[in-house]
Amino acid sequence: MATFIDPSSFKCDCGHQLDFFESTIDEMEKMSRKNTQEIGEGDDPHTVEFRKGKAVAVICPQLGRCTIE
């Protein structure tokens, strides 16, 4: 299971860490109340999936969908 580290960082089961600004995560949580949203870091294939106002999974290119604890 992927890990929610702090208000704006997530760690994948493969060990990769994604870091964002808190304001970016706040905006994704708001937007995901209506539709599922995903956010990633530039060319990095890892993404964080948001649903119903919460981060629910990290999508990993190696492991697939890893739910967040």
CA distance 30 to 24: 10
Domain that holds residue 59: 3-67
Instruction: Produce one character per residue of 43-67: b if its CB has 16 or more CB atoms within 10 Å, e if not.
Output: eeebbbbbeeeebbbbbbeeeeebe
Amino acid 6: pLDDT: 84
- Amino acid identity of residue 11, one-letter, is K
Amino acid 58: pLDDT: 96
Domains in the chain, number:
1
Amino acid 7: pLDDT: 86
Q: How is residue 56 written in tokens?
A: 């629910």
Ordered per-residue pLDDT tens for the chain, 69 residues: 888 888 899 999 999 999 999 999 999 999 999 999 999 998 889 999 999 999 999 999 999 999 998
Q: Is the pTM of this model over 0.85?
A: yes
Amino acid 36: pLDDT: 97
Nearest to 47 by CA among 58, 32, 61: 58
